[in-house]
């Protein structure tokens, strides 16, 4: 899996959190999200069509921002492949 794909997984997980837990309507909301800072530590290789789990949490809520912490795990593994 190419490194850029990991960021796609992170983006999908963060959006799913907002949609499922905060009832955020990505199609009707006047609010948009911008990524202003990102980093990823690639710890273990992922291979297609491997099944993965992506953990996401909101680490900090600011006045106009959120800070997420995310990690990708190979299915059934406790050690992150990327974070």
- The CATH number covering residue 57 comes to 3.10.129.10
C-alpha to C-alpha distance for 83 and 57, rounded to whole angstroms: 12
pLDDT the model gives residue 43:
96
pLDDT of 28-50, one tens digit each? Answer: 999 888 888 999 999 999 999 99
pLDDT the model gives residue 70:
97
pLDDT the model gives residue 51:
97
Residues 67, 60: contact at Cβ < 8 Å?
yes
Range of the domain at 13: 3-82
In what order do the strands lie in the sheet containing 66-74?
A: 52-61, 66-74, 80-82
Measuring CA to CA, which residue among 79, 12, 13, 11 is closest to residue 46?
Answer: 79
The tally of domains found in the chain comes to 1
Cα separations (Å) of 16 from 19, 45, 62, 75?
5, 24, 20, 19
pLDDT the model gives residue 46:
95
Percentage above 70 pLDDT, the chain:
100
């Amino acid at each position: 899996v190419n490194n850029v794909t990991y960021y796609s997984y992170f983006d999908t997980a963060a959006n799913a959190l907002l949609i499922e837990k905060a009832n955020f309507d990505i199609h009707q909301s006047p609010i948009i999200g911008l990524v202003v800072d990102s980093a990823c530590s690639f710890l273990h290789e992922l291979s297609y069509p491997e099944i993965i789990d992506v953990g996401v949490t909101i680490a900090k809520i600011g006045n106009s921002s959120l800070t997420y912490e995310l990690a990708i795990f190979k299915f059934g593994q406790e050690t992150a492949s990327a974070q």
